[in-house]
Amino acid sequence: MTRKRLGALDVDAFMRRCWQRKPLLVRGAFAGFVDPLSPAQVLAAATREETNSRLVVRTGKKWSLEHGPIAASRLRGLPRRDWTVLVQDTNHFAPRADALLRAFDFIPHARIDDVMVSYATPGGGVGPHVDSYDVFLLQGHGRRRWRISSQADHEFVPGLPLRILRRFQAQEEWVLEAGDMLYLPPGVAHEGAAETECLTWSIGFRAPSDAEVVHGFLDHLRDRLAPAGHYADPGAQRSRNPGAVPGALVSHIDKALRTIRWSAADVREFAGCFLSEPKAEVVFEPPRPALPRARFASRIARHGIALDARSRLLFSGTMFFINGERVAVTPAARAMARSLADRRALMGPLRAGDDFVELAYAWYRQGFVVPGREGP
């Protein structure tokens, strides 16, 4: 059962009236909210090679952008205001940031992008801009002022390293404090500026463009098509214009392309693979040393099992997909596999049948899932 309320927010009413339609401010959406990471931990994360981070500094009307890792000495040398550090994919390495996504389980996992955190000093931000995705802006430590506009003018200032709007006319504004949340659908112009040192958590939900989908599907088909014929022109006459493409060759190509066919099942398979594909920088490492199968089965029976924070497990009918690949799941294992896809973690004690154990153990050996921990 997915969540029905988020603080004062009625989820069903939100999805019906606001999702992909209009912004919504929710005061106290997360009562007593505690940041998944402290300001010091966010800044430390920005210095690490394995994290995706950026530093944005504003000096008057000038903006600078630096991609991480950001040296600790660079951070120590910054002024006391007007800069921000952004760290992507905190849900991949911070368990409490990953847990934050569970509060948004009323939106399909296939739409999840990431949980990004912004650390800002007073005046810090990234300027007025628009996003192409849905985002929930959850305020943590400190205060941030948000201004929004429904303007159609999305022209950017040329020559800047950031896509900052040339003209921005705010129509509404609010100051958010810890636990307050602002939802913005795609295309709404907005600007957030820190009033104090603050942390803002951005829970983003992607919607792939038609161009991405078409290109991806054509790649998907290319790996499955094996046309048997080839062009031949026995008895062709001497070419009078060797630079011209022969009409017969064009006709043959046209005929070959018209043989391309796909079914609804092909589309469903592609959708599952495409939407479960992890980000390009994600690399899964097999456990070392790996638990023997019998001990793994005993562990998950007692303590449960969870997807690795970076794993994406989806299903469509009887088709299952994990991290960009379709996987065979026997009828006996499907109910539990669906539960794992929905919940991302199954708590112990767990009555796992042999088929599910076999499937889960294969995923464990690839680094896709982790067994529950023993002890506290």
Is residue 336 within 8 Å of 313, Cβ to Cβ?
Answer: no
Among candidates 119, 110, 115, which has minimal Cα distance to 94?
A: 115
Classify each residue of 58-89 as buried b or exposed e, where b means 16 or more C-beta atoms within 10 Å of its C-beta: beeeebeeeebbbeeeebeeeeeebbbbbbbb
Query: Which residue is associated with the tokens 């602002």?
Result: 182
101 DSSP 8-state letter: G
Residue 342 has a pLDDT of 96
Is residue 134 within 8 Å of 19, Cβ to Cβ?
Answer: yes
The DSSP secondary structure of 160-185, one letter per residue, reads -SS--BS-----EEEEE-TT-EEEE-
Residue 335 has a pLDDT of 97
The parts of the chain modelled with pLDDT lower than 70 are 1, 374-376
Residue 117 has a pLDDT of 98
* Residue 57 burial by Cβ neighbours in a 10 Å radius (0-12, 13-18, 19+): middle
The DSSP secondary structure of 110-151, one letter per residue, reads GGEEEEEEEEE-TT----SB--SSEEEEEE-SS-EEEEEE--
DSSP bridge pairs for 87: 53, 117
Q: Rounded to 5 degrees, what are φ and ψ at 198?
A: -155, 165
Residue 303 has a pLDDT of 95
Residue 375 has a pLDDT of 46
Residue 208 has a pLDDT of 87
**What domains lie within the chain, and their CATH numbers?**
5-205 (2.60.120.650), 208-224+258-376 (3.40.366.30)
Q: Rounded to 5 degrees, what are φ and ψ at 91?
A: -65, -15
Q: What is the value of pTM for the model shown?
A: 0.90
Residue 1 has a pLDDT of 66
Residue 344: strand, helix, or coil: coil
Q: CA 150, CA 249: separation in Å to the nearest integer?
A: 52
Residues 6+ away with beta carbon under 8 Å from 287: 364, 365, 367
Is residue 322 within 8 Å of 366, Cβ to Cβ?
Answer: no
